[in-house]
């Protein structure tokens, strides 16, 4: 398993990745100037059109991009940037599935003229068909668990019905609205840190052990941390030096036993690139 951490502009660095080389991307772009993402980031220069197009290029056929985003409320209206990004991803060739993430245990925000916003979008984009890895999580207790129910299909020719009786499963597949309580054990000063459970569940859902997971806007490194714990290879890109260093620390600590030192890659050109070999 290998981990590659790159300090630099994500668009520049994405262009260096090979075509069809990434199984899964889990990332979150800047939200309409809603937060300050560090002194090295220029919100006005953020080109999400080009970034999404590059993500399509580097994603393997039937690979997945999870894009977590929300909209600002400006002059009494949502910006609609989230929808524009999803529609652009579809124009680039992705299939789109819209999911909702509701973070419980925190206050909602918004305009006093409307109901406050308590959710974010999780767009799941699959390239060239359905996801090749689809491990849907079954953690909803089934109210019909253990009860016999009839299954069957009507025979259109003779009008009869062949039936069989089965017992309902104890657990059902969760829906596409995820209610997650942020209980991360390593909260950082990043303004938009992913809940670890959210990232963990997406990695489990859309990839297999040994796959390549990417986060081109790595922030404090939660995607990398969870990728290491789930034995995936990881590529992380972050433009802000402070957040990059936080991500380095968190991902290194996630290696647990044994914890191997980070090895500086040969410095051929800026920006700095570090590689971790974790066995």
Q: Where are the alpha helices (DSSP H) in 36-175?
A: 48-58, 81-92
Q: Of residues 46 and 218, which shows the higher confidence score?
A: 218
Measured distance CA(128)–CA(93) in Å, rounded: 7
pLDDT in tens, 161-220: 555 556 667 788 999 999 987 655 556 565 557 789 999 999 999 999 999 999 999 999
Helix/strand/coil for 88: helix
Q: What is the percent of the chain with per-residue pLDDT over 90, rounded to a whole number?
A: 57
pLDDT at position 107? 60
- Sorted by where each starts, the structural domains of the chain and their CATH numbers stand as 2-136+176-277 (3.40.50.150), 138-173 (no CATH)
pLDDT in tens, 243-266: 999 999 999 999 874 433 433 332
pTM of the predicted model, to two decimals? 0.80
Beta bridge pairs of residue 276? 3
pLDDT at position 242? 93
Tokens matching residue 200: 């963990």
């Amino acid at each position: 398993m290998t981990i590659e951490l790159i300090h630099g502009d994500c668009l520049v660095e994405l262009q260096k990745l090979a075509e069809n080389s990434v199984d899964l991307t889990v990332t979150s772009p800047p939200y309409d100037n809603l937060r300050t993402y560090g002194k090295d980031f220029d919100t006005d220069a953020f080109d999400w059109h080009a970034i999404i197009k590059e993500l399509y290029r580097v994603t393997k056929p039937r690979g997945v991009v999870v894009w977590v985003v929300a909209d600002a409320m400006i002059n009494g209206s949502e910006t609609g940037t989230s929808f524009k990004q999803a529609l652009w991803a579809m124009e680039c060739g992705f299939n789109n599935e819209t999911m909702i993430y509701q973070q419980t245990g925190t206050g909602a925000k918004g305009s006093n003229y409307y109901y406050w916003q308590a959710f974010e979008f999780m767009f799941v984009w699959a390239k060239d068909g359905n996801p090749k890895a689809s491990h849907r999580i079954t953690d909803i207790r089934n109210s019909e668990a253990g009860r016999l129910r009839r299954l069957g299909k009507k025979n259109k020719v003779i009008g009869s019905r062949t039936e069989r009786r089965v017992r309902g499963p104890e657990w059902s597949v969760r829906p596409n609205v995820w209610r997650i309580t942020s209980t991360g054990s390593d909260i950082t000063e990043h303004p938009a840190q992913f809940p670890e459970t959210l990232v963990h569940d997406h990695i489990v859902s859309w990839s297999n052990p040994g796959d390549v997971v990417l986060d081109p806007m790595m922030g404090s490194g939660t995607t990398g941390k969870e990728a290491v714990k789930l034995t995936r290879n990881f590529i992380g890109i972050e433009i802000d030096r402070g957040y990059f260093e936080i991500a380095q620390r968190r991902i290194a600590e996630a290696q647990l036993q044994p914890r191997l030192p980070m090895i500086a890659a040969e410095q051929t050109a800026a920006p700095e690139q570090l590689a971790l070999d974790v066995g």
